[in-house]
Amino acid sequence: MSMIQKCIPDAYHASIFEISYHSLQKQGITTLFFDLDNTIIAYDQSELNVKEIDFLNNLKKDFKIVIMSNSGYKRVSNALKGTDFMFLWHSLKPTKIGFKKALKMVGETQDKVMMIGDQLMTDVYGAHRLPIKVILVGSVKRSSDRGITKINRFIEKKILKKIMIKQPKLYEERLLPYVKDHAL
């Protein structure tokens, strides 16, 4: 698989709340890896609120869950305060390091896992390197992106164009809705 192909998600949904988790279960998925920033909460939200905690706790009845963030310990542990979700900080996406750690934490093989995240360059590309399947979700609040993510978004735009040219069908199906949702 080329780098460009690895950046094409297996599906797109506007948010984590729109995904059909039941159909993932039917596909044999036992484990969900979630990105944190702009996937579950905006960068400028310091903690999960009740809605997100209840939602994830409910999923925990059917799936093993690991929250895999590239942010530091303080940000991630504070965001998840009062919950007992497994998590990784400084997960170094898109390298394979964090994904391998997360697989060890849950004792699962990569074919049983779905990664869910809002960035092509870290979540989608990184997971596909294992390979682990990935659902791209719309960012909670794109304007709260910061630092390295802004650089990633710049590269992401160029990659989106390449995918549009090389894989027009997949682009239309899985990325055009993403582009439209964020007015890119």
What's the closest the beta carbon of residue 165 comes to Mg ion, in angstroms? 26
Closer Cβ to Mg ion, 30 or 42, answer by number: 42
- CA dist list (Å): 139 to 61, 64, 128, 149, 159: 25, 23, 20, 12, 17
Applying CB under 5 A, what is the total number of residues that bind Mg ion?
A: 6
Bridge partners (DSSP) listed for residue 113: 31
Give the three-class secondary structure for 33: strand
Of residues 77-136, which lie at the interface with Mg ion (CB under 5 A)? 118-119
Instruction: Please say whether the dihedral angle defined by the alpha carbons of residues 29, 66, 115 and 51, taken in this order, is positive or negative.
Output: positive
SS3 of 111-131: HHEEEEECCHHHHHHHHHCCC
Q: Say how many residues make up the chain.
A: 184
Q: Which is nearer to Mg ion, 31 or 149 (CB)?
A: 149
Q: Return the residue matching tokens 């590269």.
A: 155
Between 31 and 38, whose beta carbon lies closer to Mg ion? 38
Nearer residue to Mg ion within complex by CB, 35 or 52: 35
Asked if residue 37 binds Mg ion (CB under 5 A), the reply is: yes
DSSP run (H or E) holding 32: strand 31-34
The 38-77 site mask, x for binding Mg ion (CB under 5 A), equals xx--------------------------------------
In the complex, least distance from residue 114 CB atom to Mg ion, rounded to whole angstroms: 16
Residues 122 and 92: beta-carbon distance below 8 Å: no
Question: Residue 117 CB, nearest distance to Mg ion (Å)?
Answer: 6
Work out how close the CB of 152 gets to Mg ion at its nearest, in angstroms, rounded to a whole number: 9
Q: Out of 9, 32, 34, 35, name the contact with Mg ion by CB under 5 A.
A: 35
Which residues are at the interface with Mg ion (CB under 5 A)?
35, 37-39, 118-119
